[in-house]
Amino acid sequence: MSDAPDAEPRLPPLLAPPVARLLADPAALADAVARFGSPLHLLFPAVFHDNLDRFRAVLDAGRMQYRICYAHKANRAAAFVAAAHDRGIGIDVASAGELDSALAAGFTPDRIEVTGPKGLPLLHRLAAAGVTVNVDNLWELEQLGSTGVARVPVLLRLSGFDPARPAGRFGIDLADADIALRAIAAGSTVELRGVAFHLDSGDVGERVAALAGCLSVLERAYRLGLRPGVVNVGGGFRQAFSADPVRFQRYLRALLAGLNGDGPALGWPGHTFGFHQRAGRYGGVPSFHKYGNDIGGAAMLADLLDAPLDGRPVAATLREALLELWLEPGKALLDGAGITVATVEFTKRLRDGTTLVNLDISRDTITPADQEVMLDPVVVHRRLAAEHTGPARVFFGGRLCLERDMVARHLVALPRLPLPGDLVVFVNTAAYQMDLSAAQALWHPLPRKIVVTERDNGFEMTADEPAARG
């Protein structure tokens, strides 16, 4: 494993096998664009199934009682909701629209969990619907307790496990948990099914600490005569993005060197990627650090189940207490399960020599909450051109007339300069990237979502349509 010097700054992405096979088939992609237009999101339910298999294998190996709730919020597509329903797992919805989507796909209320901030109209609907409500705050609990519906099943989302961490805005603080428990014990309109938390860091130690906090609240509930049986560890299980974390890291150092004037600039002027500035120099960990990860969510779950809690692995502690583990993976189930295909509209050379390749997408088509996507796209050249056959380093620009609409604010090194009509494929975009920030400004329609199924004789492609609403 030699760290041989390589002049090109690369960020090679991991490709799920069905995606790799599609990209290796020049006709298949061209056919998709010809039929459905450009830009396009392509969805691969087979990859969802593989990811789910990995999660199940870990949970079965731990001999857990469990429920996996697919976090719908990671992608609007019906295809993934259908895949989750077909596998008999649960679903986690975070809005009235997502609840409609789940019901339309055939989920019954006993398999639906509702998370996130909720207002009064939604709460009334949920109380009547028979779904499990993951309660964010004491007001919500109070509202659910006074709808007139008996025995609304709830989980209490808890937070504040680590005083060293700044208080987030979700969940009931540990200090208020007793108020919630006593309110539930005093009435009979709410049934406490269990407790929940959600962390977005990959640190196992933090999750174990959160679990310990949850278990102590559960104990207090039992002492009040309540009988919760569920611990919900939420989501935040990581995606495996990078095919080469060492090269990711080398790119990162080069990017930093550019910011500090120690090397050529690799970033679009004015952007600092979340690095921290101190005494005029940039350092620290950038906001896109997750793209250097190559260890998937199931492996993280395995680490959690194996971590020591109360003198034995977490899995054993939960099993012995006869608790059922719930989890809400969204991005981890969609890891590698979608790609976004864009077309090169034109290329342009700027005054300072920078090469700009303009695409028929905007930054928000693939970038969630402005977090830079640090993975090289795959370029599919449509025709062989005599000119421009050398390697190129380019910035990808977006279709909006805003300076900030750069699809990539970092330099991408390519073997050949893309030409108008070439396809640029951004990989692993199904988890939040396609939908979280997508906008329809300037009358640009949202890209269609196309479901890809591999058959013996090729790739079957159908538009993703939500199931008919009742």
Partner 1 sequence: MLYRHITELIGGTPLLRLDPAVHGVAGVELYAKLESANPFGSVKDRVALAMVDGTLDAMRAAGQTLVEASSGNTAKALRILGAMSGVELRAYTNRVRVGEVRDLLALLGADVRELPGLSECPDPTAPNDVFSVIGDLLDSSPGKFVHTSQYTNEANIEAHYRGTGREIADDLADAHGGRVDVLIGGLGTTGSTRGAAGYLRERNPDLRTVGVVSERSDFIPGIRSAAEMWDVGLFRPDFYDEIRPVESAAAIDGSLELALRHGILAGPTSGATYVAAKSYLAELDPRPGRVAVFIVCDRLEPYLSYYRKRRPELFGHSAAAPPGAAELAAAPTVDVDTLAAALADTLVVDVRGGMAYRVGHIPGAINIRDDCLDEMLTGAMPFPASTRVVFVCAVGEISARFAALLARACLPGAGLRGGILAWRDAGLPLETS
Considering only residues 285, 385, 402, 439, which one is a binding residue for partner 1 as defined by CB under 8 A? 285
Cα 67 from Cα 379, distance rounded (Å): 40
Strand positions, DSSP E, 39-198: 40-43, 65-71, 90-93, 112-114, 132-135, 152-159, 172-173, 190-196
- Verify binding: residue 391, partner 1, rule CB under 8 A: no
Residue 282 near residue 252 (C-beta atoms within 8 A): no
Residue 303 near residue 238 (C-beta atoms within 8 A): no
For partner 1, which is the closer residue by CB, 54 or 399?
Answer: 54
- Verify binding: residue 320, partner 1, rule CB under 8 A: yes
C-beta of 5: minimal distance to partner 1 in Å?
6
Considering only residues 88, 121, 148, 166, which one is a binding residue for partner 1 as defined by CB under 8 A? 166
- Verify binding: residue 151, partner 1, rule CB under 8 A: no
**Could you tell me which residues come within 8 angstroms of residue 176 by beta carbon, excluding any fewer than 6 positions away?**
138
**Could you tell me which residues come within 8 angstroms of residue 283 by beta carbon, excluding any fewer than 6 positions away?**
256, 275, 276
C-beta of 285: minimal distance to partner 1 in Å?
4
For partner 1, which is the closer residue by CB, 167 or 442?
Answer: 167
Residue 364 near residue 441 (C-beta atoms within 8 A): no
C-beta of 276: minimal distance to partner 1 in Å?
5
Considering only residues 252, 300, 304, 424, which one is a binding residue for partner 1 as defined by CB under 8 A? 252
Contact region for partner 1 (CB under 8 A) — 9-17, 38-46, 109-117, 210-218?
210-218
- Verify binding: residue 261, partner 1, rule CB under 8 A: no
Closest CA to 66 of 449, 332, 329: 329
Residues pairing with 412 in the sheet: 394
- Verify binding: residue 27, partner 1, rule CB under 8 A: no
Cα 274 from Cα 18, distance rounded (Å): 34
For partner 1, which is the closer residue by CB, 2 or 457?
Answer: 2
For partner 1, which is the closer residue by CB, 80 or 288?
Answer: 288
C-beta of 415: minimal distance to partner 1 in Å?
23
Considering only residues 1, 175, 384, 386, which one is a binding residue for partner 1 as defined by CB under 8 A? 1
Question: What are residue 68's phi and psi, to 5 degrees?
Answer: -95, 125
**Could you tell me which residues come within 8 angstroms of residue 28 by beta carbon, excluding any fewer than 6 positions away?**
22, 458, 459
- Verify binding: residue 126, partner 1, rule CB under 8 A: no
Judged by CB under 8 A, the chain residues 215 through 234 that form the site for partner 1 are: 215-216, 218-219, 222-223
Placement of tokens 């990209």 in the chain: 23
- Verify binding: residue 35, partner 1, rule CB under 8 A: no
**Could you tell me which residues come within 8 angstroms of residue 345 by beta carbon, excluding any fewer than 6 positions away?**
358, 359, 360, 399, 420
- Verify binding: residue 159, partner 1, rule CB under 8 A: no
- Verify binding: residue 182, partner 1, rule CB under 8 A: no
Residue 195 near residue 156 (C-beta atoms within 8 A): yes
Closest CA to 129 of 155, 81, 96: 96
For partner 1, which is the closer residue by CB, 232 or 371?
Answer: 371
Considering only residues 50, 173, 191, 294, which one is a binding residue for partner 1 as defined by CB under 8 A? 294
Considering only residues 3, 352, 403, 456, which one is a binding residue for partner 1 as defined by CB under 8 A? 3
Strand positions, DSSP E, 241-359: 276-278, 281-283, 308-309, 312-313, 324-327, 338-349, 355-359
Considering only residues 121, 148, 270, 311, which one is a binding residue for partner 1 as defined by CB under 8 A? 311
Closest CA to 333 of 231, 239, 261, 469: 239
Distances, alpha carbon 450 to alpha carbons 46, 80, 194, in Å: 13, 12, 38
Contact region for partner 1 (CB under 8 A) — 94-102, 164-172, 179-187, 337-345?
164-172
Cα 461 from Cα 44, distance rounded (Å): 10
- Verify binding: residue 319, partner 1, rule CB under 8 A: yes
Considering only residues 20, 295, 400, 446, which one is a binding residue for partner 1 as defined by CB under 8 A? 295
- Verify binding: residue 66, partner 1, rule CB under 8 A: no
Question: What are residue 468's phi and psi, to 5 degrees?
Answer: -60, 135
- Verify binding: residue 2, partner 1, rule CB under 8 A: yes
Closest CA to 408 of 354, 356, 333: 356
Cα 89 from Cα 80, distance rounded (Å): 12
Placement of tokens 């108020």 in the chain: 179
What is the per-residue binding string for partner 1 in 326-355, x denoting contact by CB under 8 A? ------------------------------
- Verify binding: residue 377, partner 1, rule CB under 8 A: no
C-beta of 149: minimal distance to partner 1 in Å?
28
- Verify binding: residue 369, partner 1, rule CB under 8 A: yes
In the numeric block, which tokens belong to residue 33?
């664009």
- Verify binding: residue 8, partner 1, rule CB under 8 A: no
- Verify binding: residue 169, partner 1, rule CB under 8 A: no
Binding site for partner 1 (CB under 8 A): 1-3, 5, 162, 164-166, 200-203, 205-206, 215-216, 218-219, 222-223, 236, 238, 245-246, 248-250, 252-253, 274, 276, 278, 283-285, 287, 289-290, 292, 294-295, 310-312, 316-317, 319-322, 369, 371
